[in-house]
Amino acid sequence: MSRSASLFVSLTLFLLATVLQAAPAVVPPPPKLDARSYILIDFDSGEVLAEKNADERIEPASITKMMTAYLVDQELKRGNIGLDDEVPISEKAWRMKGSRMFVEVGKKVPLRELLKGMIIQSGNDATVALAEYIAGTEEAFVDMMNAQAQALGMTGTHFTNSTGWPDPEHYSTARDLAILARALIRDFPERYALYKEKKYTWNGITQYNRNRLLWRDKSVDGVKTGHTESAGYCLVSSAQRDGMRLIAVVLGTKSDKARTQQSQALLNYGFRFFETHKLYGAGQKLAEVRVWFGARDKVGVGPAEDIFVTVPRGRYGDLKAGMDLQPSVEAPVEKGRELGRLRVTLDGKPKREAALHALAAVPEGGLWEKVRDTVLRWFE
């Protein structure tokens, strides 16, 4: 090969390598799933990575029990009930059809055991017993469920029972169920380990968790299955790999096998093509704002919560962050007062936005500070 040809080849390879290096990562479309609706979100950032009919009203079946579990955990955290409480089994709970824990009417069962029966075995009898113990009646408990759904921002959800028993007015959406699963994991991490238990034995009867992903994928640690003839086979799953947690909701598939395979495909897609990073920590000072007439002349500002962002793999370095801050404020300044906004973009498009708050209170200054700042403001 001549020297000129060799130089041409070298230059061509160099230019090609430069173009390939500069080219942004390409994220393919999500896998096509034979499901009525689905959604995939990142747990930390809350970003939606894939969705189909995510706001369509569906029957959640036993996935409903996530809300029952949320309220049980909430009452435990508040100290209103205890894990060792002996819960009476009513005739209504005992007569429940569908999946059951096989508790006996008139007996008392420790609350911790009923929790296992509801979460691992999806027992309708255990679920009703818990609802009655907390609220007196299942009907009163349902009011609590609907109030909590609204508090979490589940705008497309309405419950009529604690178990997911079919009812025309009992419905949710894939997006709402993802919100609920995220809240369950975030708000009660100390009890989330129950959701990865593969089997549970009560009264001599061993039953297995219906979430088959627990056997197929070691990174999966929850969350809940659901099935009725009208709802089809449904699964809310969550997995954590290398510090990144995803939540997948797959609703209305044709079989147990299908919901397992399609949930696995959705999780694999998210982990393969995306990455999540913590940009800033809660309370981290990102800037300062001038304070007039205060005991101090500046106040630090930062986010009230950790700020995470999810991007296509390899694109973290392309993020750009900016702040819109109030140029100055007058004392007094309350801690937590919003003083600006953080804006994160990728390729010029909005990626994340968050409020920036005063990280400390600044009381009014004395006479000297007020006189000083009055003079200084004349020269502004």
| pLDDT given at position 379 | 78
Domains and CATH numbers, the chain: 37-277 (3.40.710.10), 281-378 (2.60.410.10)
Pairing mode, strands 287-292 and 328-330 = parallel
**For residue 308, pLDDT beyond 60:** yes
User: Which position has the token pair 């238990």?
Assistant: 197
Q: What angle do CA 318, 323, 326 make, to 5 degrees?
A: 175
Over residues 32-40, the mean pLDDT reads: 96
Q: Which of 65, 196, 224, 351 is catalytic?
A: 65
Q: What is the per-residue pLDDT for 369?
A: 81
Across the chain, mean pLDDT equals: 92
Q: Which of 45, 62, 90, 99 is catalytic?
A: 62
Q: What percentage of the chain exceeds 70 in pLDDT?
A: 93
For residues 199-224, average pLDDT: 96
Indicate if 65 belongs to the active site: yes
At 164-174, the pLDDT tens digits run 999 999 999 99
Query: Whole-angstrom Cα distance, residue 231 to residue 254?
Result: 10
Active-site annotation holder among 90, 122, 172, 237: 122
6 catalytic? Reply is no
Q: What is the pLDDT of residue 25?
A: 62
Q: Note if 298 is an active site residue.
A: no
pLDDT range class, residue 10, cuts 50, 70, 90: very low
pLDDT at 378: 84
